[in-house]
Amino acid sequence: MSSVQHVLGIECTAHTFGCGIISSEAAVLSNIKSEYTPKAGGIHPREASQHHTEFASATVKEALQRSGLTLSKIDAIAFSSGPGLGPCLRTGATVARMLSLLIDKPLIPVNHCIAHIEIGRAITKEDDPLVVYVSGGNTIVSAYSDGRYRIFGETLDVALGNCLDTFARALGLPHPGVPKLEALANEGKIFIPLPYVVKGQDMSYSGLLTTAIRQIGKTEPKDLSLSLLEVAYGMLAEVTERALAHTEKASVLLTGGVARSLRLQRILASVCREHNARFYVVPPDLAGDNGAMIAWAGYLAFRENLSVPVECSFIRPKWRLDEVEVPWRK
């Protein structure tokens, strides 16, 4: 056995089917994605899973080709077993189980949120950051403490990305909505009060979304967009600040699909300046859903012998981040 090991990761929780290959030295050898884009409306879980079934094989092949490795050089197969949409998770898990059986190598279930955190830590080389993870499905402020990633603030209902996407669609902006929403907001001048809901450590976006949608037609779209973003990001900034003050971490790591928002980056950078914390943004390739992050988190678990037999490789659509033991951090 060579000293360098390789792990292949399958990401398949929502709109992206991703396959990535990493080496034990945290080098991303390849990271290929195929993204499902709904013709209208939001993600339809069954249609998304059909897309993933269709593109799985080509995506895995391309990832292998780019990495310059053959399947026989892979030491473990990792897959995102939750949280996510059931039909998508089942498709990803099926592909991973098949690959694991084919090459007779361990199968590693990975928590999707942990993968976002771990790839961020690896590429920024920031050992112990406060993580702000925002995407279409998750809005979590988390930090490591006593064996697990603890949650110091999260959405109580819809995710930030979901809130913005839904509003953008209601305004008639085409996919992807958030950049267009931000461009519109940059022209906005007048701030309209909208529900700003911070409950202790947590935030709630559902009332904000409903109110904003009801204002469409009554308020200029640019002013409404400005107000929505100000309130939505403002709430997240406040929760981040609270978590930073409470945990006293020295840095903040922004990741997830919404991490690419320049407006949000500016806001969190300002929060960090005020608290003398270092600020990192994971680059879009590795911040959005991708296979490489699953492979890397899978490698960390693989080192701890956390593999499962195929017959026990269940998916966990509602697997909370703070349920997972992370022995590699001890």
The residues of the shown chain that bind another protein, judged by CB under 8 A, are 83, 145-146, 150-152, 154-156, 191, 193, 196, 198-201, 226-227, 230-231, 233-234, 237-238, 241-242, 244-246, 266-267, 270-271, 274-275, 318-320, 322
- Dihedral sign, Cα of residue 75, residue 290, residue 268, residue 198: negative
Residue (24 or 145) nearer to another protein, CB: 145
Residue (28 or 229) nearer to another protein, CB: 229
CB of 272 to another protein, least distance (A): 11
Phi, psi values for residue 196, rounded to 5°: -105, 105
197-to-27, 159, 233 alpha-carbon distances in Å: 41, 14, 12
Distance of CA 227 to the CA centre of its chain: 25
Residue (70 or 270) nearer to another protein, CB: 270
3-state DSSP assignment of residue 28: strand
CB of 171 to another protein, least distance (A): 19
**Residue 34 bridge partners (DSSP):** 17
- Dihedral sign, Cα of residue 325, residue 328, residue 329, residue 330: positive
CB of 219 to another protein, least distance (A): 14
CB of 178 to another protein, least distance (A): 18
Residue (59 or 138) nearer to another protein, CB: 138
Residue (99 or 231) nearer to another protein, CB: 231
CB of 241 to another protein, least distance (A): 4
Per-residue tokens: 139: 């809005």
Residue (174 or 200) nearer to another protein, CB: 200
User: Residues near 77 by Cβ (< 8 Å), separated by ≥ 6?
Assistant: 7, 8, 9, 10, 96, 99, 100, 103, 105, 106, 107, 108, 298
Nearest to 302 by CA among 24, 14, 15: 24
Measure the CA–CA gap between 129 and 278, rounded to whole angstroms.
Answer: 9
CB of 91 to another protein, least distance (A): 20
